[in-house]
Amino acid sequence: MNAVSPSPYWINKFTPRKIAFMLFAVGLIMRLPFLSLPRQVVFDEIYFCEFATQYCCGHKNFFDIHPPHAKLLIAASAKVFGHKSDIQYKNIGQQLDESVAIEGMRLVPAFAGAAIPSIIFLLVYMLGGSVLSAFLAGFAICFDNSFIVQSRIVALDPILIFFMLTSVLTCLRVMRSDIKMDRYFWIALSGMFSAMAVGSKFTGLTAVAISFGLLGMTAIDKIYANSKMWLDQTKNFAAEMIVFVCGFAVVYLGGWYLHFFLLTETGSGDAFMLNTGHFFQDTFKLHKIMLSANAGITTPHPYASPWYTWFYLKRPIFYWQEAGKVIYFIGNPVVWFSVLPGFVYAVFYWYRNSTSWKERIFDRNLIMILGAIASIAPMAAVNRPLFLYHYLPTLTFLCIVTFSSFPNWSQSISPKRKKLYQGLAVIYVTLILIGFAIISPLSFGFHAGGSVRSYLQSLYTSWR
């Protein structure tokens, strides 16, 4: 009997590198066309456009609860695109003139968002997933409407997730090499990407935890394999941690240096700006102020939602509207409703498929499972208003864990069942495309006729 590949023929025709490139190309097609439209302020752009403008043009002090790194990237892109305006961003829907390089500001989140499906594909593949399962993971995020919406406006979340994933990806690359200098290079790069993740939002600390977990797991595994070399392995691990921390520190502190260097004029954040003559002390104090201010946000918002409602899309966010055109932050229901059960199954499979606790602990998927939990745990612990887009990092890790468990299905099953799974994969892809098409008028700011909006609102009364 001829062996049956676990992947359909249309997947086997392409190498992993080509699939990653195609996912990136599709991601760009979803984001770059008409990126400057609407030429108005959309939801949180009222804050992030203002902050980026001050970095590149106004140089007035401001205060934000998030670190500066992602906003500095947005500001740099705006500068390259000729942004010269120092206008005040006063309200959602505010018209922007030609002096505002809004396409330049939106470009960084757009590129980051376009790259995320490809990185997810590579991560699942490097975690041991088949080409098919890795493709499904990347495809699901590529055609998720919430990711598309958030990466077509000036937002920090796509940049945050991009650097979280690249940090983990480079860390996995470390595990494939035994050459010391090669390992140091990738570890330093992982530290730098982790710094950019934390520098986007503090929730990027999840990337640091995952990277440390993967490197630590590798070191302990080597000690178990050769206990006589435990001292040498401990020294190697300590040296690698130093390299990681150095890479992290250079980028993270560098971003804060640029923050103080660029904001030289009096502005709305004067009360929070400290002396730039005591850099380390002032940076530490500002972090305390940021964390305190973040925890102190208590003003209710009509589109805020508790974290436990995010799994089933209970409260999407109304971003923008004009003359029947709308932008609504809402995920692809097929993706959102499938990854949580998939994650639960993956955890069950991880436990059931291992013969001992040692095998379970040294399974790299355990680190990703813990990463998914760690990405949402802080949200459950805070009392400030939260929004559906805070779920995107968790959704990403749920997707990775879900599809990383799929390859095991194809290792010891009959050819007939493999064909069944291939058929299910085609059905899943088709359903994702249908879900994407239904939600798209609300994602791209198309004219959403009353019938479309009424239909969606009939599905969930909270979808207003």
For the stretch 159-170, pLDDT in tens is: 999 999 999 999
Q: At 22, give phi and psi (nearest 5°).
A: -65, -40
Q: Which residues pair with 3 in a beta bridge?
A: none
Question: For residue 5, is it within any domain?
Answer: no
CA 394 to chain centre: 8
**363 to 186, 308, 358: CA distances (angstroms):** 21, 28, 9
Above 80 in pLDDT, residue 186?
yes
Question: For residue 44, is it within any domain?
Answer: yes
The count of other CB atoms within 10 Å of the CB of residue 146 is 26
Which residue range is the domain that position 47 belongs to?
Answer: 23-459
Question: For residue 376, is it within any domain?
Answer: yes
Separation of alpha carbons 111 and 34, rounded Å: 14
Separation of alpha carbons 183 and 370, rounded Å: 24
Separation of alpha carbons 281 and 407, rounded Å: 50
Between residues 350 and 454, the one the model is more confident about:
350
pLDDT value of residue 256: 96
pLDDT value of residue 299: 87
pLDDT value of residue 457: 64
Say which amino acid occupies 191.
G
Q: Which of 147-151, 190-194, 303-307, 324-328 has the lowest mean pLDDT?
A: 324-328
pLDDT value of residue 464: 62
Above 50 in pLDDT, residue 151?
yes
The count of other CB atoms within 10 Å of the CB of residue 177 is 13
For the stretch 328-387, pLDDT in tens is: 999 999 999 999 999 998 898 888 877 776 677 777 788 889 899 999 998 888 888 999
Mean pLDDT value across residues 71-76: 97
Separation of alpha carbons 321 and 381, rounded Å: 33
Question: For residue 6, is it within any domain?
Answer: no
Q: Which of 119-123, 171-175, 265-269 has the lowest mean pLDDT?
A: 265-269
Q: Using H for helix, E for strand and C for coil, what is the string for the chain?
A: CCCCCCCCHHHHCCCHHHHHHHHHHHHHHHHCCCCCCCCECCCCHHHHHHHHHHHHHHCECCCCCCCCHHHHHHHHHHHHCCCCCCCCCCCCCCECCCCCCHHHHHHHHHHHHHHHHHHHHHHHHHCCCCHHHHHHHHHHHHCCHHHHHHCCCCCCHHHHHHHHHHHHHHHHHHCCCCCHHHHHHHHHHHHHHHHHHHHHCHHHHHHHHHHHHHHHHHHHHHHHHCHHHHHHHHHHHHHHHHHHHHHHHHHHHHHHHHHHHHCCECCCCHHHCCCCCCHHHHHHHHHHHHHHHHHCCCCCCCCCCCHHHHHHCCCCEEEEEECCEEEEECCCHHHHHHHHHHHHHHHHHHHHHCCCHHHHHCCHHHHHHHHHHHHHHHHHHCCCCCCHHHHHHHHHHHHHHHHHCHHHHHCCCCHHHHHHHHHHHHHHHHHHHHHHHHHHHHHCCCECCHHHHHHHHHHCCCCC
pLDDT value of residue 152: 97
The count of other CB atoms within 10 Å of the CB of residue 235 is 11
Closest-CA residue to 174 (of 112, 227, 239): 239
Which of 93-102, 243-252, 303-312, 337-346 tops mean pLDDT?
243-252
Above 80 in pLDDT, residue 96?
yes
Mean pLDDT of the chain: 88
pLDDT value of residue 6: 52
Question: For residue 9, is it within any domain?
Answer: no
Strands 325-329, 317-322: pairing is antiparallel
pLDDT value of residue 448: 62
Separation of alpha carbons 117 and 147, rounded Å: 10
pLDDT value of residue 351: 81
Question: Count of domains in the chain?
Answer: 1
pLDDT value of residue 320: 93
Question: For residue 174, is it within any domain?
Answer: yes
Closest-CA residue to 261 (of 279, 234, 244): 279
Share of the chain above pLDDT 70, in %: 90
Mean pLDDT value across residues 58-82: 94
Above 90 in pLDDT, residue 395?
yes
Question: For residue 16, is it within any domain?
Answer: no
Above 60 in pLDDT, residue 229?
yes
CB 35, CB 110: distance < 8 Å: yes
Above 70 in pLDDT, residue 264?
yes
Q: Which residues pair with 329 in a beta bridge?
A: 317
Which position has the token pair 């680190």? 367
pLDDT value of residue 123: 94
Q: Grade residue 233 by pLDDT with cuts at 50, 70 and 90.
A: confident
Closest-CA residue to 14 (of 131, 128, 120, 99): 131
Separation of alpha carbons 302 and 300, rounded Å: 7
Closest-CA residue to 440 (of 163, 211, 83, 149): 149
Q: Which of 79-88, 123-132, 313-322, 408-417 has the lowest mean pLDDT?
A: 408-417
Above 50 in pLDDT, residue 4?
no
First to last CA, the chain: 56
Mean pLDDT value across residues 408-427: 74
Separation of alpha carbons 299 and 403, rounded Å: 39
Which position has the token pair 């798209």? 440
CB 371, CB 206: distance < 8 Å: yes
Tell me if the pTM is above 0.85: yes
Mean pLDDT value across residues 438-455: 75
**In this structure, what token pair is assigned to residue 74?**
């947005």
Above 70 in pLDDT, residue 19?
yes
CB 134, CB 423: distance < 8 Å: no
Separation of alpha carbons 257 and 373, rounded Å: 33
Between residues 314 and 276, the one the model is more confident about:
314
Separation of alpha carbons 402 and 300, rounded Å: 34
Question: For residue 13, is it within any domain?
Answer: no
Q: Grade residue 462 by pLDDT with cuts at 50, 70 and 90.
A: low
For the stretch 243-257, pLDDT in tens is: 999 999 999 999 999
